[in-house]
Amino acid sequence: MRLSFLLTSTIATTFVLASSLTAAPPRTPEQVAMAALAAAPVWDGHNDVPEQLRERRRNVLGAFDFRDTRGTADPANDRGAMHTDLLRLRAGKVGAQFWSVYVDAKLPEPQAVQATLEQVDVMKRIIVRYPAEMQYCETSACVEASFRSGKVASLLGAEGGHSIGGSLGVLRQLYAIGVRYMTLTHFNTLAWADSATDTPRHGGLTDFGRDVVREMNRLGMLVDLSHVSEATMIDALEVAKAPLIFSHSSAATLDNHPRNVPDRVLDLVKANGGIVMVVSAPAYVSAEVRDWNARKSGEEARLKARYIGDPDAAKAALADWVAAHPSPKATLAQLADHLDYIKNRIGVDHVGLGGDFDGIGDTTEGFSDVAAYPALFIELARRGWSQADLEKLASRNMLRVLKAAEAYAASQRGAAPLENPTSF
């Protein structure tokens, strides 16, 4: 009996030692990050290339080369080089992109509708120029096929409800031409929804605003709550029957900017099955940057009053103030903090990425363009994010949300469109 026990123990010990000798060594953060991005490329929630085409080129593409835009700086008009091109999208492991067909929220609404259609057109023209690198998509199935082909799945999102001109008919037509999300507001409060950065007028959504959410759900268009007030966030989450998104927002607990998402709303996002796609704009990443911006704005107002009638003197004095009080910098680590916070608060199934590249001027240090995503994934892997976690962050969460929106729309095929009377 004792001999049998000793033999069994010897065999077990030998097996354990052999297993430990043949086991693969632990993977480095770099290996974990790159394996995740190979399995699930980044699906970015918000990029403003169409805005750059409008502002820099009046939507006339001519000889514009989207393969490499690093030489597009325009110092005479205070514009740096663009953040996005096909070369850097590939380097950044970006496999899907929501392109924002944003137009200025200060435009009269009929003009905003026209301008939105022009932005849809110009981005579609860019996509078809590069058939080997880009794939126009309107569905989750198309995105999955694009991933397999190695192309950048290219979807459209409208940034601000001014783009529908107060009309559910226009909303339906935007969906018909391929717009797959709409941000309910931009910087300005609308006749039917309060913005985060304007005076509230409705305490959230009006009855028409609630109908906008219902009709978007019926169509399968994602409801985007970036830019809206907290009350609008809550109203939309109460009405929604499909998962909602924040296409480019961060955590208010870490940076209490009104554009960021408070904890009680994060909890509602989890219950809704939605996703918060963390933004890289410095003022939304770093509370120190936001505070500095507020001080600068106060100083600018003071100097304009001090040098009333002499704008050149006010401008020179502000430049002196900035030189004496340089801005702090948002960092890649702070960006990762927002991702950690949301993951820990509501779970890894509810977080994504919305860089806002080409819609911002200053960028976060270490995250200056669309090529920077691998650096962020390596930082998160160092913090203990698993490969499965990183795959969800990259694109699996966004894919799940779009599929859920499509499934709800399919269940509503027999439902009649909601209607509203025309305004003229």
Active-site annotation, residues = 46, 48, 159, 186, 227, 248, 356
d(CA 140, CA 146): 10
Q: Which secondary-structure segment (H or E) carries 134? A: strand 134-136
Rounded Cα distance, 318 and 300, in Å? 6
Residues sharing a CB contact under 8 Å with residue 294, sequence separation 6 or more, in sequence order? none
- Cα separation, 292 vs 283, in Å, equals 9
- DSSP class of 147: H
Closest CA to 240 of 258, 260, 219: 219
- The per-residue DSSP string of 235-287 comes to HHHHH-SS--EESS--BTTTS--TTSB-HHHHHHHHHHT-EEEE---HHHH-H
Which residue is listed with tokens 């860089």?
355
Bridge partners for 357 per DSSP: 47
Q: Of 232, 186, 188, whose CA–CA distance to 212 is shortest? A: 232
Q: Which of 279, 233, 234 is nearest to 255 (CA)?
A: 279
Q: What CA–CA distance (Å, rounded) separates 165 from 392? A: 36
Cβ neighbors of 424 (< 8 A, separation 6 or more) are none
| Bridge partners for 365 per DSSP | 331
Q: What are phi and psi of 44, to 5 degrees?
A: -85, 135
